[in-house]
Amino acid sequence: MAYMDYYKILGISKSASSEEIKKAYRKLARKYHPDVNPGDKEAERKFKELNEANEVLSHAENRKKYDQYGENWKHGEQYAQAEQQQQRQYQSQGGGGYSGADFGEGEDFSDFFQNMFGGNNGGGFGRSSRGSASGKFKGQDVSAELNLNLKDVAVTHQQTFDINGKKVRITIPAGVEDGQKIKLSGYGNPGVNGGPAGDLIITFNIKEDSHFKRRGNNLSSEVEIDLYTAILGGEVKIPTLSGDVNLKVKPETQSGTKVRLKGKGFPVYKKEGEFGDLVVTYKVNIPKNLSEKQKELFEQIKNLQK
159 and 259 within one domain: no
Over 80: is that where the pLDDT of 74 sits?
no
pLDDT of residue 260: 96
243 and 291 within one domain: yes
The whole-angstrom separation of Cα 53 and Cα 5 is 8
> CB burial class (10 A; 0-12, 13-18, 19+) of residue 120?
exposed
228 and 152 within one domain: no
CA 5 from chain centre, in angstroms, equals: 19
Give me the number of domains the chain comprises: 3
Instruction: Answer with the one of 206, 229, 245 that is the final residue of a domain.
Output: 206
Of residues 118 and 258, the one with the higher pLDDT is 258
Ranges of beta strands (E only) in 133-244 are 142-148, 157-163, 166-172, 181-184, 200-206, 213-215, 218-226, 234-238
264 and 232 within one domain: yes
CATH number (domain holding residue 181): 2.60.260.20
The whole-angstrom separation of Cα 305 and Cα 229 is 20
Mean predicted confidence (pLDDT) in 237-254: 94
Mean predicted confidence (pLDDT) in 270-295: 92
Average pLDDT, the chain: 80
The whole-angstrom separation of Cα 101 and Cα 109 is 10
Mean predicted confidence (pLDDT) in 127-156: 74
Over 70: is that where the pLDDT of 61 sits?
yes
174 and 247 within one domain: no
pLDDT of residue 114: 41
The reply to whether 26 falls in a domain is: yes
12 and 85 within one domain: yes
H/E stretch holding 261? strand 258-261
The whole-angstrom separation of Cα 54 and Cα 21 is 7
Of residues 222 and 5, the one with the higher pLDDT is 222
pTM over 0.85: no
pLDDT of residue 121: 36
Mean predicted confidence (pLDDT) in 68-72: 73
The reply to whether 268 falls in a domain is: yes
- Span of 83-87, 185-189, 198-202, 284-288 with lowest mean pLDDT: 83-87
3-class DSSP assignment, residue 190: coil
- Span of 13-22, 81-90, 111-120, 260-269 with lowest mean pLDDT: 111-120
Instruction: Answer with the one of 101, 116, 131 that is the final residue of a domain.
Output: 116
CA 289 from chain centre, in angstroms, equals: 48
The reply to whether 71 falls in a domain is: yes
pLDDT of residue 86: 54
Mean predicted confidence (pLDDT) in 46-70: 86
pLDDT of residue 88: 57
Instruction: Answer with the one of 153, 171, 206 that is the final residue of a domain.
Output: 206
The whole-angstrom separation of Cα 258 and Cα 208 is 21
220 and 197 within one domain: no
82 and 146 within one domain: no
Percent of the chain with pLDDT over 90: 39
Look at strands 181-184 and 200-206 and give their pairing: antiparallel
151 and 71 within one domain: no
Asked if 159 and 169 touch (Cβ cutoff 8 Å), the reply is yes
Mean predicted confidence (pLDDT) in 17-35: 90
The reply to whether 1 falls in a domain is: no
**Residue 300 structural domain:** 213-304
Query: Which is nearest to 229 in space by CA: 250, 210, 213, 198?
Result: 250
- Span of 16-30, 81-95, 220-234 with lowest mean pLDDT: 81-95
pLDDT of residue 104: 34
Of residues 136 and 102, the one with the higher pLDDT is 136
Of residues 73 and 299, the one with the higher pLDDT is 299
75 and 153 within one domain: no
pLDDT of residue 230: 95
The reply to whether 90 falls in a domain is: yes
pLDDT of residue 106: 36
- Span of 73-82, 136-145, 197-206 with lowest mean pLDDT: 73-82
Cβ neighbors of 238 (< 8 A, separation 6 or more) are: 221, 223, 244, 245, 246, 247, 261, 278, 280
155 and 111 within one domain: no
Mean predicted confidence (pLDDT) in 112-133: 37
259 and 293 within one domain: yes
CATH number (domain holding residue 103): 1.10.287.110
Each residue of 75-120: pLDDT tens digit? 666 666 665 655 555 455 554 443 333 333 333 333 333 443 443 3
Each residue of 142-184: pLDDT tens digit? 888 889 999 999 999 998 877 767 788 889 999 999 999 988 8
The reply to whether 223 falls in a domain is: yes
Look at strands 278-285 and 218-226 and give their pairing: parallel
